[in-house]
Every structure is written in structure tokens, then in C-alpha cells.
Chains A and B, each alone.
Chain A
Amino acid sequence: MTTRNTLVPSVLWWFNQSFLLEYVKMPSTPLIEIKHISKNFGGVQALRDVSFRVERGEMHALVGENGAGKSTLMKILSGVQTDYEGALIINGTPVKFNGTRDAEAAGISIIHQELNLVENLTVAANIFLGREKTNGGWFLDDRAMERESAELLGQLDCDINPRQRVSELRVGDQQLIEIAKALSLDAELIIMDEPTSALTESEVERLFRVIDQLLARGKTIIYISHKMEEIFRRSERITIMRDGTHVTTKRCAELSPKEVTHLMVGREIESTALGKNRQPGETLLKVENLSLPWPGHVRQWRLKDVNLELKRGEVVGVAGLMGAGRTELLECLFGATDVAPQGRIVLEGNDVSFKHPAEAMAAGIGLVTEDRKRLGLFSHMNIRENITLCTLSSLTASGLISSRQEREATGASIRKLGVKAAGPEAPILSLSGGNQQKCVIARWLRTEPRLLLLDDPTRGVDVGAKAEIYQIIDELCREGMGLLMTSSELPELMIVCDRILVLCEGRLTGEFTRDQFSEAAIMEAATGSVTTAAM
């Protein structure tokens, strides 16, 4: 064992390390030992020499900001990512997974943040997907699968019909199906990647009851989350990661939530620096009774009767859980929805109803989309082409694009937003997430919008670039632009915004001005009225 070798040099040094105590308490081999794991994604070092261990039967919290490397590490653990440096030791034997099946066979199951279910199949079919039970090897034995599914779900104290289609279930129930699937695989270790990001309060309570049960049955859980109360509620130890490196692993009792946040970020976020002395001007946007139908869904409305007002030189945040309608709200304003919204949208005093994003763009609105890879970037194009795409008509001379003008425009944008790149001709994918996002923002700024919609603009962006994006937002606001932004991270909205609107299941359930900001109150609004609204 490595512990013995390292014990020899300096006993004193070891005394300072708190986890010496743990070896006294838990002398057995850890369930999982992660040793010097590094991973390089083409351009970006996602993991750098990460080592820690997960003991058998513990709930181990893994925290870190977006881009800290948690997800990459979990992908390695669950066999999704098979190419890395370093070693993975399970039950004392080194393993090398060649795919998710290998990981499942070794007793590791992962419940992804974005659930991995086939929505048009039944609950039972999903639980047994890829391992279907058969009669004599040819025909599916639905009855046996349904019986066993009902049993598994019963163990989790939840009442879901195994014959129901997954698409008809609420997100919280869908998550339990993933957990039931993990149980059916007889998983030793269950990894939960931000499991509560889309759950209501009562669903979170139920999830924790299930977690209690799993722990009582001797399962090990790695729990990934941003939310401190959840982390401190049940976990025995916390591992903190930052920028792809392992910061520390400590017992929960030795840390306070504040210390954890501090270690996660690596420095204090100067939350007071932004938003001071902003001078909101006249009303830019007014939305009255905006509703977005949701055909064929029990909820019927993606958005229902939303009212809001936005002034020039103001940043308004939209908070809410996953599926609350944040993205849909921005899409309505941008004319990008499949179904036409109802209600009134007044932009600069004129009633507008956009049928295509091109009309919204012409009216002075820009939208920085949420899912950068899927909806924002043109990955086969270079930086220049990505930045100038929306404004080529201003760079043409007699119908032809002037490459000189285009180069100059790109250069100006790159300088203005501080994009760090090898040059304007570098492929957009060679940039880090933060710089890619700056390019997308630059594309929209070149259209000189008066209203900029930002949908979770710092998702997958490292800490440094985050601060720079906040700075850009602040500057734009002071130049008189109106900004409406959403975020999956509440603290971020509290730093950047003048006001925060809260959506819950498509309805506006709260509005807070800067002096009223409190994480607890906003979360309450985001989850509070859920049970009544859903009925």
C-alpha cells in the first residue's frame, strides 16, 4: 500500500493532514481510488493530476464550479471517457474501462444531470434498456420487466406505473427511474450529477429519503452539486475541484459552507463592484400577459401570463429551475418559438410580434443562446466567420464581402471583448469556452442591439472568463443597452442584475430588486408555488 511508504518520511507532516484520522477509522481499502488522473481535450486541460479516494458506503460530495472538471472526472469513472492518463483503482484492483458497460459491470452507475432516458419508451423498458428480459432469448418478456420495475420503484417508496411512457412523467420521477435502473444493475457506487437542478422542494425531500435508503443499504454515493445546504445535509466528506485540479478532500465537519465556496472559487468574488450607480433610462421593453402554449402537454402552457418591464441601462435577471420557462421567455421575445406566443410585447413603444429571429434582429434585439455548441457556434468556421455572420451586409461592397473590412471588424471585436485567440483565422473550437462565448457575444454586439438577451451566458465558462463576461455586461448596461439574462446559478444573477424575476412552471412567481436579493427568498419563489401550479 502506498500509505505505508508515505508514512515513513515525516510523521509530523501527516499529523497536519486531517485524513490521517480517517485511516485510523477506516482501515479497509477504499471503494474507489483515483490516482493522478489527467485529461487533455485537444486544446483544454480538463483534468490535471487529480487524486482522491472514495470510501465504501459514504456519501461523498464533489463540488466545483462549471468547468472545474467534475463532469469529465465522472465521465472517466463511468466509462464514457476512456482515454486519459493516470489510474483508477476499484476495490484495490486497477481497472481500465472500455465503455459504460465495463463501468456498469464494475458496479458504477451514473445519473446524469440531463437524464439519459428514451422518452418514448415505457418506464420498464427504460430500466431494462440494453438488458431486456426475454422468453427463450427471442421475445421480450414485458411482464417480468414490469414486475421487477414495480418492485424496484417500490423499494424507493415511489408510486410510478412501469407501463407509463417516460415522456409523461415529471422530471423528478424520471430521475427516480434512473436510480431504479442503477439499483437493477446492482450498482455499488451511484454518481448523481446535480440531481436537484430541476426538482421542486418536495421532490428534493423525496430524493434525500431515497439517498438515506441507499446509504442504509450500504451503497456509496458521489453527489455533485453547487448547493451548499444539500452538500452539508448528508455527506461525510467533500472533495473540492477547481480549474481541473483537486483542491482538497475533507470531512464535512471540518468545513463551513463559506470555506467551501471560497475554495471552489479560489478567490472572493467582488460582488459589490458591479451594478453600483447604474442609471436606468426610459422603458425599453414591456411584456404584458405573455403566454406560450404547449400543445399536447399536461401543463398546456410553457409560459402563462408573464408581465415584465425592462428599462434602458438595466440588467434584469430571470431565475428559475430547469424547465421553468427561462429559455422559452427569451425565445418568445426573439421570435424563435415554434408556436406563436400570445399576449403583448412592446418594444420602444411599438407593439411587436416577431415571426422569425431575423425580424427581432432588425428591430434591435440580440440573443446569446444557452447551448453554445448546439445553438450558438458554427464549429466548422473560424473566429472571423463566427463573429461577422450576422452583420455581413454592412461589410459588403457591391454585393461582395470585403475581406479587408471583415478583417478590421473582427479585429475590433476581438480587441473590444478581449478574446484570447491565436488570430482571427483560428478555428473557433480551438478557443476555451469563455472565449467562444465572447465571440458569440461579439457577433451580437456587432448588430448594435438595444436589447440583448443572454441565456445562461456563463455556462461551461471558467471562473476568470466569467468575471470578464460580468464586466462586459456591466459596460454594455452603462452604455444604455437593456439586458435580460438567465442563469442556472443564482449567485451570478445576484452579482450582475439590478432586478431578478423568478419563474416557476411558466409563471412569474416573484420579483426582487437589488436590496431585496436573498438566495433563500428567490429559491422559495422558484420552487414554492409549484405544487399548486402543477395541478
Chain B
Amino acid sequence: MSELPSSNSSRVNSGKSIWSRLPIELGLLIAIAAVICFTATVDDSYRVKTAYNAKEILRQTSLLGIFALGAAIVIISGGIDLSSGSVIAFSGMICCSIMLALAPVDSAGNPDTTNLGVGILLLAISGTLFVGLIIGTFHAWLITVIGLPPFVATLASLVGLRSLGRVLIQDINAAVTTSGSSTKIYISDPLFNDLGRIWWVPLVVFLVLSFLLWLLMSRTQIGRHLYAMGGNEDAARLSGIRTDKQKWLAYCIGSVTASIAGILYCSYVGEANPESAGMGYELNAIAAAVIGGCSLTGGIGTITGTMLGALFLRVVIDSVAKTVKGSPDEFEGLIVGLLVVLAVAFNELRTGAIRQKKFFAGKLGFVSLFILSGLVGIMGGVLSTSNQLRWGTLCGVLALILLGGKAFWERRSR
């Protein structure tokens, strides 16, 4: 018995395929490089305007990455934060409201936001971050003291905070300006707008935040305890870990990072608009974390993986926007959905035996043949520029033949 463990563990390792030993970060780097190469070959924008494209991608990646890091930490700690999109909208509203309220008043009695000065700016930013902290604390209270599942607690914020922001912004506008209850706040202070518009500001914020959170997660006791709690909460508690405090920290990081992103988004577009800001971004953040290797069951995931996950997501979205010439917004959801499924499936498969896996087993497998082919057909139709019906049908039939062949082969080999 004594020799068993060592000999077996080595055999288990050597038995796995090369995929399972490859760190997820390396895989993502290769994938990112591949997508960039593909886009550069198909479309000349990358070659003609290299610097511009690189800056745009880095800005977008940073904006997404900042709150994806927060989402990743909540996921690693065994929870889920669905509220980041609404927190982004709400924090943007708060930030702009503070600036509006403190701005000097012009002759017509309206606040003038063209030159606010550093003091007001810092005040607005710290106020917003404080609000983020409050939101995180509220989540932690709902989850640890009241005992709500994280999904429910943060879902309430997702729905409620945006609505609250829309109501509040009208009252604030009515109170501070003479123009009545507008649903937006415009900030024209150049310093504030530079925060989001100069490409390297979000990038620096993202990199600094990543480094700090990387230190926290991989080099400190708190980080180790977060991983432990995510993996086995009961065991963590019985090991003397204050799981309630850990959860508070995780949810606060989740909402404060979203607040930072909220400020940057706001300064980028120059306005606060809680109706549409950050709409659906919470799922992008979760997607980036999951693509980066975080497991929704908790305890697994890395900061570097999440960074690369966000980059990968943005690179693919940009690639589709460039190659299909459509509006990237319309395709974004489709791409995120596809990538999440593929990334998680890939992660599952690289640890399991891919060759023995049956994809089309049973009745569900049979039905999914047609679902998949239909999906491929629709995609083919949507992506083609002319003769959409013909292309769509062709793609669908081709997919059905291919997948059907695979299914037939699977069933025969049984």
C-alpha cells in the first residue's frame, strides 16, 4: 500500500494527453495569436492601422478586464456576481452626479462642467468607489447574514440598481439644473474625459489592478483562503477561516472593480446614462473569467487567465466586426455565448478523454444534430452578403451531413 500513491500519481499524469498539461494561459495566448493572424490576413485594417487597432483593443480589453477580475474573484471564492452591469451604470451615475452637484454654477443657474478641477474629480471618484464598497457590503450581508443564495442576492441588484439609477438621475437633474428631469448627465470636463479617452489610462488601471489582485490571490493568506473557501466552504470554516469576512471581501472587490469600470466608461462616452450603460456586461465579465479558466463551482481560476480571457473575448469580437463588416454590437452576444460554451467544453474535454466522448448519444443527441445544423445554417445565412437563403441552406445541409456522419460513426462504434 505504501508505494501506491507515488507510483499511481505519476502514472495518472503520464496517462493524460498533452492538452491537459498545457496551462490554460498558454492555450489562450496561442488562440489570441491565431485570431489576430486570421483577422490580419482577411482584413487589411490590422496591417494599415496597426497602432490604432491595438490601442482600441487594449482600451476595450482593459475596460472589460477591470470588472472581469472582480467577477473572477467572486467566482473563485465560490459565489457569483450578476450585478456588475448595473453597478457600472449606477456608479457612472453617482460619479457624474457628484461632479454635477459640485460644479460651479454659470450665469443661467446651471452647473458648468467644462472645467471642474482635480479636487472635484478626486472627490467624485472616491465617492463612487465608496458607493461600490457599500453595494458589495450589502451583497455580503444578504448572502452571509440573511442567507440568500449569491445568485438571488446579486440578481436583485442587477434588476434594482439600474432602475434606482434611472429614477435618481432625474431627481438629481431636477434639483441641480434648471433644465428639468433629464435622464442623462453630460460631463464635458476635459480632464475627466481623458480618463477613458486616452488609451493607456484604462490599460494602466487594468494592469495595476491585475498586479495587485494577482498578489492578493496567489501570494497572500487571504487569497489562499479565498481559494480554499471556493473549493470547500464547510472545510474552510472548520479550518478556522472566517468565511463571512472572506465573502465580504470578495463581493466588495466585485463591486468596486465594477465601479472603477463605471467611472471609466462614463468618462469615455462623456455622459452618465443609467438606462443603457453597461447593459449585459455582467455576463461578459463572467464569460471572460470562465474562458480564462475559472470554474463556476469555485476554487479554481487565476488572475492571469482572466486577463487573457478578457483579451481573447475582445480580440474575437473585434475580429468578427472587422471580417463580417457588421455592427459588432449585434454580434457580441452571439460570440460571447459561443465562446463560453466552447471554452468550458474545451476545458472539460481536455481533462477527459476526448476520443471516447460521445457527443450525440441518446435522443437528446439525435435532436441536437438538427439544432446544431440549423444554427450553422442560420449563421451561414447571416454572415453571407448575397443569396443569404441559398448560403444558409447549403451550410445547414453540409453541417447536417458532417455531424450526422459523426453521430452514425459514434453509434456504430458502440
Chain A: residues with CB nearer than 8 A to chain B? 42-45, 243, 334, 336, 356-358, 360-362, 367, 369, 374-381, 385, 389-390, 392-393, 396, 399-401, 420-422, 426-427, 430-432, 434-435, 443, 447, 462, 464-465
B12 touching A381, Cβ below 8 Å? no
- Complex CA gap A217/B14 in Å reads 53
Whether A392 lies near B221 (C-beta < 8 A) is yes
Report yes or no: B238 in contact with A375, Cβ–Cβ below 8 A.
yes
Enumerate chain A residues within 8 angstroms of B171, measured Cβ to Cβ. Answer: none
Distance of A458 from chain B, by nearest CB (Å): 14
Instruction: Given A378-B299, A379-B232, decide whether A336 and B237 contact each other with a Cβ distance below 8 A.
Output: yes
User: Who on chain B is nearest to A43 by CB?
Assistant: B8
- Please name all residues of chain B whose beta carbon is closer than 8 Å to the beta carbon of A358 when the two chains form the complex: 240-242
Q: Please provide the chain B residues from 212 to 257 with a CB less than 8 Å away from any CB of chain A in the complex.
A: 215, 219-221, 224-225, 227-228, 231-232, 234-242
Q: How far is the CB of A367 from chain B (nearest CB, A)?
A: 6
- Known: A43-B4, A374-B234. Contact between A390 and B240, CB under 8 A? yes
Question: CA separation between A421 and B5, bound complex, in Å?
Answer: 6
In the complex, residue of chain B having the shortest beta-carbon distance to the beta carbon of A464 = B1
Q: Which residues does chain A contribute within 8 Å of B236, judged by CB atoms? A: 378
Would you mind naming 13 contact pairs between A and B with Cβ atoms under 8 Å apart? A43-B4, A45-B4, A360-B240, A361-B240, A378-B227, A378-B228, A380-B300, A381-B227, A422-B6, A422-B9, A432-B5, A443-B239, A462-B1
Answer whether residue B413 sits at the interface, using C-beta atoms and an 8 A cutoff.
Answer: no
On whether the beta carbons of B234 and A375 are closer than 8 Å, the reply is yes
A396 with B220: CB separation less than 8 A = yes
Q: Does B10 contact A (CB under 8 A)?
A: yes
Question: What is the interface residue range for chain B against chain A?
Answer: 20 to 34
Q: Does B2 contact A (CB under 8 A)?
A: yes
Cα distance A42–B10 in the bound complex, in angstroms: 11
Q: B234: nearest residue on chain A (CB-CB)? A: A375
A42 with B8, Cβ < 8 A, contacts A369-B235, A377-B235, A432-B1 known: yes
Residues of B contacting A427 in the complex (Cβ-Cβ under 8 angstroms)? 9
A42 to chain B, nearest CB (A): 6
> What residue in chain B is nearest A42 (Cβ atoms)?
B12
B299: chain A residues within 8 A (beta carbon) = 378, 380-381
Q: How far is the CA of A206 from the CA of B66 in the complex (A)?
A: 65
Residues of B close to A381: CB separation below 8 A: 227-228, 231, 299
- Inter-chain contact A43/B242, CB cutoff 8 Å: no
Are A43 and B300 interface neighbours, CB within 8 A?
Answer: no
Q: Please, which residues of chain A bring their CB within 8 A of the CB of B224?
A: 385, 389, 392, 401
The chain B residue sitting closest to A356, CB to CB, is B242
Residues of chain A lying within 8 A (CB to CB) of residue B234: 374-375
Structural contact, A422 and B228, CB atoms closer than 8 A = no
In the assembled complex, the Cα of A401 lies from the Cα of B220 at a distance in Å of 5
* Binary per-residue interface labels of chain B (347-372) against chain A in the complex, 1 for a CB within 8 Å, 0 otherwise: 00000000000000000000000000
Contact B1 A431 (CB under 8 A): no
Chain A nearest CB, measured from B5 CB (Å): 5
Q: Is the CB of A367 within 8 A of B238?
A: yes
Q: Quick one: which of B1, B220, B227 contacts A465, CB cutoff 8 A? A: B1
Query: With the chains together, A367 CA to B235 CA distance in Å?
Result: 11
Chain B: which residue is nearest A427 at the CB level? B9
Contact of A435 among B5, B228, B242 (CB under 8 A): B5
- The minimal Cβ–Cβ distance linking B304 to chain A, given in whole angstroms, is 17
Contact A422 B10 (CB under 8 A): yes
Residues on A with beta carbons closer than 8 Å to the beta carbon of B4: 43-45, 432
B220 touches A400 (CB 8 A): yes
Give the distance to chain B from A499, nearest Cβ to Cβ, in Å. 26
Residues of B within 8 A of A336 (CB): 237-238
Bound Cα distance from A393 to B241, whole angstroms: 12
- When C-beta atoms are compared, the residue in chain B nearest to A401 turns out to be B219
Distance, CA A375 to CA B234, complexed state (A): 6
Docked pose: A336 CA to B215 CA in angstroms: 31
Q: How far is the CA of A385 from the CA of B231 in the complex (A)?
A: 12
In the bound complex, residues from chain A placing their C-beta under 8 Å from that of B235 are 369, 374-378
Q: Are A377 and B232 in contact (CB under 8 A)?
A: yes
Inter-chain contact B232/A378, CB cutoff 8 Å = yes
Question: Do A401 and B8 form a contact, CB below 8 Å, given A357-B238, A390-B239?
Answer: no
Set of chain A residues within 8 Å of B232, measured between Cβ atoms: 374-375, 377-379
Closest Cβ–Cβ distance, residue A191 to chain B (whole Å): 26
B220:A464 contact, CB within 8 angstroms? no
Give bound CA distance, A366 to B238, whole Å. Answer: 9
For A462, the closest partner residue in chain B by CB is: B1
| Cα separation A356 to B237 with both chains bound (whole Å) | 8
A43, A389, A426: the one contacting B239 at CB < 8 Å is: A389
Distance of B119 from chain A, by nearest CB (Å): 32
Q: Tell me the smallest distance from the CB of A466 to a CB of chain B, in Å.
A: 11
B12–chain A nearest beta-carbon distance, Å:
6
**Cβ of B357 to closest chain A Cβ, rounded Å:** 15
Cβ-defined partner of A430 (8 Å) among B12, B220, B237, B242: B12
Residues of B with C-beta under 8 A to A334:
238
Q: Which residue of A lies closest to B215 (CB)?
A: A400
Complex CA distance for A489 and B232, rounded to whole angstroms: 28
Q: Which of B237-284 contact A (CB under 8 A)?
A: 237-242
- The answer to whether A44 touches B8 (Cβ under 8 A) is yes
User: Shortest CB–CB separation between residue A356 and chain B, in angstroms?
Assistant: 7
Assess the A357–B220 pair: CB atoms within 8 A: no
Chain B positions within 8 Å of A361 at CB level: 239-240
How distant is the Cα of A432 from the Cα of B4 in the complex, in angstroms?
A: 8
Given A378-B231, A381-B228, are A369 and B238 also a contact pair (CB < 8 Å)? yes
B12 & A43 in contact (Cβ 8 Å cutoff): yes
A443 CB to closest chain B CB (Å) equals: 7
Q: How far is the CA of A420 from the CA of B224 in the complex (A)?
A: 24
CA of A422 to CA of B234, assembled, Å: 28
- Which are the 3 A-B pairs with shortest beta-carbon distances? A361-B240, A430-B9, A43-B8
A374 to B, closest residue via Cβ? B234
**Interchain nearest-CB distance for A180 vs B (Å):** 33
- Residues of B contacting A392 with CB < 8 Å? 221, 224-225
Question: Which residues on A sit within 8 Å (CB–CB) of B10?
Answer: 422
Query: How distant is the Cα of A337 from the Cα of B215 in the complex, in angstroms?
Result: 34
> Which of B224, B239, B300 counts the most A-chain CB atoms under 10 A from its CB?
B239
**Residues of chain A within 8 A of B241, CB atoms compared:** 358, 389
For residues 1 through 34 of chain B, which have their beta carbon under 8 Å from a beta carbon of chain A?
Answer: 1-6, 8-10, 12
Closest residue of chain B to A385, judged by CB?
Answer: B224
Give Cα A376 to B231, complex, Å: 11
Q: Are B237 and A401 in contact (CB under 8 A)?
A: no
* A422 CA / B231 CA spacing, docked (Å): 23
Would B228 and A389 count as touching, CB distance under 8 A? Answer: yes
- Taking the closest CB of chain A, its distance from the CB of B230, in whole angstroms, is 9
Min Cβ gap B297→A in Å is 9
**Given the contacts A336-B238, A378-B235, A380-B300, A43 and B5 also touching, CB distance less than 8 Å:** yes
Complex Cα distance A401/B215, Å? 10
Select the residue from B3, B215, B234 with max chain A CB neighbours within 10 A.
B234
Residue among A44, A357, A369 with max Cβ neighbours from chain B (10 Å) = A357
- When chains A and B are docked, how far (Å) is the Cα of A399 from the Cα of B212? 13
Given the complex of chains A and B, what is the CA–CA distance between A421 and B3 in angstroms? 9
- Not counting A379-B232, A389-B241, A401-B221, a sample of 13 additional A-B residue pairs whose C-beta atoms are within 8 angstroms of each other reads A43-B9, A243-B1, A336-B238, A378-B232, A378-B236, A380-B299, A381-B227, A389-B228, A390-B240, A426-B9, A427-B9, A430-B12, A465-B1
